[in-house]
Chain A
C-alpha cells in the first residue's frame, strides 16, 4: 500500500530524476568511449576530478556554467591522457583506467587540500537553483518531475537525445560506431582510427566530469573527498545494461535511481529492522545483478578492448 502511494508521488519521481543525473552523464560518457572500442576505467576518478574542479572554480569566484565547462575541460584532459596510453601506445586499457582513477582521485584530493588547507567544516558555494520552466512546470505531475529540475538535469536529458542522434544519424557518429566494431574498416575508408578514438575518449571523459560536477554544483554545495562513492563503477555496469544505446541508458539510470530513492525512503522508515548499511549496499548489489542479467545478451562492440596496431596485418 505504502509502496504504491510512493510510486504515484511526484516528489519521489522528481528525486529519482535528480539522482539519476550524474549517472546519466557518466553512463553516456562511458558509452561513447566503449562504442569507439575503448574501455575507460578512469571514470570514477574523472568524476571526482569534475566534482572538485567545477566546485573550486565557483568557490574562487567563477560562475556556475563556466565552472561546468571547466570541469568538462579537465575531464577531457584526463581523457586525452587515457587515449595516449591506450590508443596511441596500445597499453592495457584495464591498468591505464585504474591508474587514471587513482591519479585523478589523488590529484583532486591533493589540490583541494592545498587550496583550502584550513577547512574544518566543508566550505560551501551557491549551487544551481531549480529551474521553473514557464507553463510546463505547472503541468500536474510531469511539471514537478521534469520541468522543475536543476538546469544540469535538463541538460542531461537533452544530452541523451543529442548523443542518440549523433550516434545514429550523423557521419561522425557512424565513424565512431564503426571504430568500435572493425577499426580496419574505418582505416580503409580513409579515416583515422587513432583520431576518432582519441576524440571519443576525450568527449566521453568530459561528460563523466560534468556528471561529477553535478554532485558539488547542483545536488550538494560542498566537496568532500570520496563523495563519488562508486558511482563511476555503477555507470560501467549500467552501460552493459543499456546494450550501449543512449535511450536504454536513460532507462537504466532511471530504474537504478528509482531503486536508490526507494531504498532511502524505506531506510528512513524501518531502520529498526534492517540496519541502514544493508540499504546502502543495494546500489552495488543491483549493479552486479545488472551485469549478470545482461551477460547472456551482450551485444558489445566487437573491437572493444582490442588495441588497433597500425601496419600490422
Chain B
C-alpha cells in the first residue's frame, strides 16, 4: 500500500522541521520528542486524554475527507461544529426529555441537520452562482463564532455559572457516559469509530460513494454520463456538514456538558489536516487524527517541562499538511488538482 508512505513521510518531515525550532529554542529535539510522546501515551491517563482529543478530530476529518472527495472545499467545519453544538444545547437542555437511548441519537441527528444546513448555503451559492466555497465557508466561521459569542454572553448565559460565559448544561439523559471512569474518555469515541466505518462503507460500496468520487474527479464527464452533478454535490455537503455537526454534539454531550466559546480549539481546521494526511480515506482518518491528537496533547505536556511554546503543535500540524502535498507527488498517488 504505497498510500501509507504519504502520511509517514509527511509526519517525518513535520517532526524534522520542528526539530530545527526546538534547537533554536535551546532544547534537545530528542528530549523534546521523548517528553511529547510520554505526555501523549506515557500513562493510562495520557492515552485516555489523547483518545479524547482524537474523537472530534475523527468527525471533522471525515467531514473534510467526504467533501474534498467531491472537490467541495468545505473549510467551514469549525462553524458547522458549533452549529451542531448549539442545536444540541437548544434541544438538550430541557426542551425535550427522552430516555438516553433515544436522546443521544436524537441530538446527534439534530446536530447533523444543523451542520448540514449551514454548509448548504455556500454550496448552493457554488452550484447556482459559481461562487467559490472556500471563502464563503471561511467567512461563515467568523459569523457563527460571533453568534455563539452572543448566545453564551446573552440569552443562553447560565445564571448558575458564576459569571463564566457558558450555556446551561444538557440534561443527564443527553450525556455520553465515560468509557473509562476517572478519565475524560467518553462514548463519543465509539460513535466516531462506527461513523468512520459507515462512511468508508458508503464511499466504497454504494452508488452515493461512486457518484461522489466521479463528480469530484471529473464533473464534466460525470454530467455527460447522466450523473446529477449538482444533486451529488448538495448531498455531499449535507453529509459533510452533518459529520462536522456530529463533532459538536460529541464534544458537548461527551466532554464538556455545556456550550462554551472554546468548545473547539480549531477542530474544524485540524480536520482538514487529518483528512489530507489520511489521503481522504475514511478509515485512515482514525489513524491521522490519533497523530494530530498525540502532537497536541504531547506538546502541551512538553511545553510545561521545557520552555517551548505549545504552539509548536500547530506548527507541526501545518507542516504536515504541506508535506502531505509534496509526498503525494513523490508517490505518484495524486488527487488531480483542477
Contact = CB atoms under 8 A, between A and B. Distances in A.
Contacts of A81: 322
B325 A99 contact: yes
Contacts of B272: 98
Interface string A197-236: 0000000000000000000000000000000011001101
A295 B142 CA distance: 22
Given A237-B135, A284-B139, A89 B326 contact: yes
B331 interface: no
A294 B250 CA distance: 39
A103 B136 CA distance: 21
Interface string A285-302: 101100110011010000
Interface in A108-123: 109-110, 113-114, 117
B329 A230 contact: no
Contacts of A230: 138-139, 142
Contacts of A113: 309, 311
B12 interface: no
Interface stretch (A186-194, A244-252, A275-283): A275-283
Given A99-B321, A233-B139, A295-B129, A110 B335 contact: no
Most buried by B among A96, A234, A277: A277
A277 B149 contact: yes
B307 interface: yes
B136 A291 contact: yes
A233 B25 CA distance: 32
A106 interface: yes
B interface residue count range (under 10 / 10 to 19 / 20 to 34 / 35 or more): 35 or more
A282 to B, nearest CB: 10
A124 to B, nearest CB: 21
Nearest to A286: B139
Given A109-B309, A113-B309, A292-B129, A91 B149 contact: no
A94 B272 CA distance: 12
B98 interface: no
A236 B138 CA distance: 11
A114 B326 contact: no
Interface stretch (B51-59, B177-185, B240-248, B312-320): B312-320
Given A89-B329, A98-B75, A99-B322, A284 B135 contact: no
Contacts of B325: 85, 89, 91-92, 95-96, 99
Interface in A10-53: 41
Contact of B335 (A85, A92, A288): A92
Nearest to A81: B322
Given A109-B314, A291-B132, A85 B143 contact: no
Interface in B131-157: 131-132, 134-136, 138-140, 142-143, 146-147, 149-150, 153-154
Nearest to A109: B311
A284 B79 CA distance: 14
Contacts of B136: 288, 291
B269 interface: yes
B30 interface: no
Interface in B244-299: 269, 272-273, 276
A178 interface: no
B227 interface: no
B139 A288 contact: yes
A106 B335 contact: no
A102 interface: yes
Interface in A70-118: 81, 85, 89-96, 98-100, 102-103, 105-107, 109-110, 113-114, 117
B245 to A, nearest CB: 21
Contact of B329 (A91, A117, A229, A284): A91
A287 B337 CA distance: 26
A84 to B, nearest CB: 9
Point out which of A90, A230, A278, A284 has the most chain B C-beta atoms below 10 A from its C-beta: A284
Of A100, A233, A234, A236, most buried by chain B (CB within 10 Å of CB) is A233
B73 interface: yes
B139 A102 contact: no
A163 interface: no
Contacts of B73: 94
Contacts of A117: 307, 309
Contact of B315 (A98, A106, A278): A106
B129 A296 contact: yes
A307 interface: yes
A110 B147 contact: no
A110 B21 contact: yes
A114 B308 contact: yes
A280 B150 CA distance: 11
Interface string A243-280: 00000000000000000000000000000000101101
Interface of A: 41, 81, 85, 89-96, 98-100, 102-103, 105-107, 109-110, 113-114, 117, 229-230, 233-234, 236-237, 275, 277-278, 280-281, 284-285, 287-288, 291-292, 295-296, 298, 305-307
28 contacts: A85-B322, A93-B337, A94-B337, A95-B276, A95-B321, A98-B75, A103-B322, A105-B314, A110-B309, A110-B311, A110-B314, A113-B309, A113-B311, A114-B308, A117-B307, A117-B309, A230-B142, A233-B135, A277-B146, A277-B150, A277-B153, A280-B146, A281-B146, A284-B140, A284-B143, A285-B143, A288-B140, A291-B136
Closest A-B pairs by Cβ, 10 of them: A102-B318, A106-B314, A113-B309, A103-B318, A110-B311, A92-B337, A277-B150, A295-B129, A99-B321, A99-B322
